[in-house]
Amino acid sequence: MLNYIPKEKIISIEIDVSEQMDKSSLKDFVLTSLTLNNKEYANNDLIYATYIQELKQYQIFLINNQYKLVPFQIFELFYDKKTEGLDLYLTNDFFCLYKNGLFYYYQVIEFSLTIEEFLEFINKKFNTSVNNYKKFEINELEELKNKYYSKNRKTSLKNINIKKDNSFIFYLIYVALLIYLYIYYIEKTPVLENENKTINQTLDFEKFKQEYTFNSLENDFNLILQNINKYNLQIVSFEYKEPKIKFILTSEIKDNLYLFLKEYKKDLISSSIYFDEKRNLYEVTTYVNLSK
């Protein structure tokens, strides 16, 4: 049996954004979005995300780890060379779009439409025209699945649920830098010409670290924390990855969250607000650029 996930087990959500996320923030954004939408995932599940420019949305797919393939991947077989345009592929169960030879959008078919109605639907939804389209019957679809599976083709979809911890590498670089600066400091210390004179040079290494180590994050966050207190918000969590910070904040008053976001409208990368009925609180997830 081919290892394609059934369409009813594909978990997908669509999240509105103000602009496309940069690669460094995308994983946090996607995993946070899944959590906020009560979608549980395992460390080895497949998670794909595509940015739909016309809709200003991310379509996020969660694939259980017992499956390795998604039915809409099979149309990658049609793109051995670089191509341009929007292509529509129709089946009895779903349709999908490929843009410039790459997977772009997927939707389950819940009602029957003619080809002309599908083309009109795509035109209205995406405000663009389809360049090519093809309808696949069940037997054609199965043949294409078999062909894709046998070729063992590497998919263009990128699984973002991959753990990559560089903290130890950064720590080693940091220690190496301290050692280098320490040696440099010693070598540049003037040597007294009188050899009989006792040289007693004490290097306060802790003081040295304070002089050369990175500035406290408090310097960057001080103004943000003042505004959080100003609007009486509660911090659920924050993550810092220079030069960006992700905050999850809550408030009983929705307007307070908007006032806080307004303070950072020039530096705001993205934000989303939802109402938690269990806690009777409004919660915002926001990404802010701290670069000067």
Q: Are 247 and 223 in contact (CB under 8 A)?
A: no
Q: Which amino acid is at 76?
A: E
48-56 average pLDDT score: 94
Residue 243 covered by a domain = yes
Q: What is the reported pLDDT for 212?
A: 44
103 domain-assigned: yes
Compute the distance between CA of residue 225 and CA of residue 134 in angstroms, rounded to an integer.
Answer: 55
Q: State the alpha helices, DSSP H only, in the chain.
A: 23-36, 115-126, 138-151, 167-187, 205-212, 217-230, 254-262
Select from 160, 170, 138, 159 the least CA-distant residue to 71.
Answer: 138
Yes or no: say if 132 and 101 are a contact pair by the CB < 8 Å rule. Answer: no
CB 251 within 8 A of CB 233: yes
Q: Mean pLDDT, the chain, as a whole number?
A: 81
Both 222 and 109 in one domain: the answer is: no
* Domain assignment present for 157: no
> Which residues touch 58 (CB under 8 Å, ≥6 apart)?
14, 15, 17, 21, 29, 30, 33, 49, 50, 51, 52
- State the pLDDT at residue 199: 44
Residues 110 and 54 in one domain: yes
Residue 140 belongs to some domain of the structure: yes
In terms of domains, do 71 and 88 share one? Answer: yes
pLDDT band at 82 (very low <50, low <70, confident <90, very high): confident
Residue 229 and residue 133 share a domain: no
Q: Is residue 162 part of a domain?
A: no
Instruction: Please state which of the ranges 99-103, 128-132, 173-177 shows the lowest mean pLDDT.
Output: 173-177
**Count of domains in the chain?**
3
Asked whether residue 221 falls in the same domain as residue 208, the answer is no
- pLDDT (tens digit, 9 = 90+) per residue, 243-254? 677 878 899 888
Residue 182 has a pLDDT of 61
Q: Who contacts 79 (Cβ-Cβ below 8 Å, separation ≥6)?
A: 98, 101, 102
Q: What are 32's two structure tokens?
A: 């946070």
Highest mean pLDDT among 31-45, 150-164, 210-224, 266-280: 31-45
**53 and 16 in a common domain:** yes
Per-residue confidence (pLDDT) for residue 229, from 0 to 100: 85
Percent over 70 (pLDDT), the chain: 78
Structure tokens at 81: 């060379």
Q: Which residues 6+ apart lie within 8 Å of 268 measured at CB?
A: 18, 261, 286, 287, 288, 289
Calculate mean pLDDT across residues 80-109: 93
pLDDT in the model for residue 169: 54
173 and 237 belong to one structural domain: no
Residues 24 and 123 in one domain: yes
Beta strand 281-289 with 244-251: parallel, antiparallel or unpaired?
Answer: antiparallel
**Is residue 90 domain-resident?**
yes
Instruction: Write the CATH number for 283.
Output: 3.30.1360.100
pLDDT at 70: 94
Among the ranges given (74-78, 168-172, 236-240), the one the predictor scored with the smallest mean pLDDT: 168-172
The two three-digit tokens of residue 22, written as one number: 């940069």
Q: What gap in Å lies between CA 284 and CA 274, rounded to an integer?
A: 7
Are 174 and 241 within one domain?
Answer: no
| pLDDT greater at residue 72 or residue 285 | 72
Domain region containing 264: 217-289
Same domain, 103 and 55: yes
Domain assignment present for 158? no
Q: Mark whether 33 and 123 lie in a shared domain.
A: yes
Maximum average pLDDT range among 20-24, 167-171, 192-196, 269-273 = 20-24
Residue 122 lies in a domain: yes
Q: Greater confidence, 187 or 83?
A: 83
Q: Per residue in 194-224, pLDDT tens? A: 544 444 444 444 554 454 444 445 555 677 7
pLDDT in tens, 226-285: 888 888 888 887 776 666 778 788 998 888 888 888 887 777 777 788 788 788 888 888
